[in-house]
Structure 1
């Protein structure tokens, strides 16, 4: 085992801000996707059309400009369907549950940062319905603050959301390190002078932060 695998990572004067989806979380499983299709009453032959309809109104949902009901109504309309309130609830539960599984290796890296006294925060494009889970769930205590697009009515990579985070944390752009799995979101942060890292694995993230730690210590 690498001797640094569990050692603290100390980045004094810096705040490491993490995306949630596919950084802390893992993507929904095939079983979860199949369950969502079953609840929606969508046959396998129509699966591609469903997922296109699923993603199309996601940005306004994440921005908090449409409700959960309005989101699923938009998906239904694209599919030429109508879902009653009970079905929408089941779709919502299945969808949210699918995004709740976490990458334990990423959490271990965050714990190393916290152990090293490094400030951390969460910045996610997600509906406001995720706020309780992010703040009060099993890993909520690892973050100093939680920034959720559905509450802020701003979404990455809009420069305004990064500026809001900087202001709320009381730091300058060069004091923030931003971790996200999407290159466009990282580029949006870097445009403001924030240090960015495109997440591909917890191992690469660990190596990136250890290198940053050496730079701070030098």
Structure 2
């Protein structure tokens, strides 16, 4: 799938990756030893601080423990962190196939994820890493989607104007943030829709309407000549 005049930038969580399963979550819950109804709201309440890189992973989980009124040892915090980390590593094969097709077509790609800096190594050095030319991790940049500054940083780092970037994210607010600086956005709802969208950006797809218009014009001309005769 060749899109030679664009850089396609992908979000990671719940676009390339699949959501943590119930079994994944149960492991975290059992290690935490607290009511799941209390755990997950606290998990998300301060996640932006971790993803922005303003706190580290140990502090993030220690803050959750404090807010829940429990105490976890450093070893237990590591266990909880690892169980959560693993739960985000599974990827959707159908989306991986799209990445493979883009790479085979010579399309330049990048990853832009709201994630803690601990994910940087997993992104770059797992098999997934071979699919991308550039990586942008919010926790490393101290910036966060959907703030315009993170998209501006990506465009500058890629060395291209914003209108040459295509950004894929499952969260509409993040896509709108990208569009605010001139990036073309697509809200991810499924692999089939994503493939259709990207195939519509290929040169062959762009040429099709012109070809159809020419064919229609020729047909109209022929019909007109036939009527005159």
TM bucket (normalised to shorter chain) is: over 0.9
- What does residue 215 of structure 1 align with? 206
Partner of 2:214: none
Q: Tell me, what secondary structure is at the counterpart of 1:11? A: coil
Q: How many aligned residue pairs are there?
A: 207
Residue 63 of structure 1 aligns with which residue? 52
CA contact (8 A) 1:158 1:188 kept: yes
- Paired residues for 1:154-169 under 5 Å: 154-169=143-158
In structure 2, the partner of 1:153 is: 142
Larger RCO, structure (CA 8 Å, separation 6 or more): 1
Q: Report the TM-score when normalising by structure 1.
A: 0.93
| Structure index of larger Rg | 2
Q: Is the 8 A contact 1:189 1:196 kept in 2?
A: yes
Is 1:28 matched up with 2:20? yes
Aligned residue for 2:9, secondary structure, equals strand
1:37-63 alpha-carbon deviations (Å, 9 max, x no partner): 000012xxx212110011111001001
Return the offset for 1:215. Answer: 2.6
1:81-104 CA-partner distances (Å, limit 9, x unpaired):
111101000001000000000001
Structure 2 equivalent of residue 127 of structure 1: 116
Give the drift of 1:121. Answer: 0.3
8 Å CA contact retained: 1:12, 1:216 = no
Query: Partners of 2:183 and 2:24 in 1: how far apart?
Result: 35
Cα distance in 1, alignment partners of residues 125 and 4 from structure 2: 26
Runs of 4+ more than 2 Å apart = 215-218
Report the CA distance between 1:211 and its aligned residue: 1.3
TM-score normalised by the chain length of structure 2: 0.88
Q: Kindly indicate whether the alpha-carbon contact (under 8 Å) linking 1:11 and 1:216 is maintained by their aligned counterparts in 2.
A: no
Whole-Å separation in 2 of the counterparts to 1:117 and 1:68: 36
Structure 2 unaligned runs (5+)? 211-229
Please tell me the root mean square deviation across aligned C-alpha atoms, in Å. 1.1
Do structure 1's residue 12 and structure 2's residue 4 form an aligned pair? yes
Structure 1 or 2: larger helix share?
2
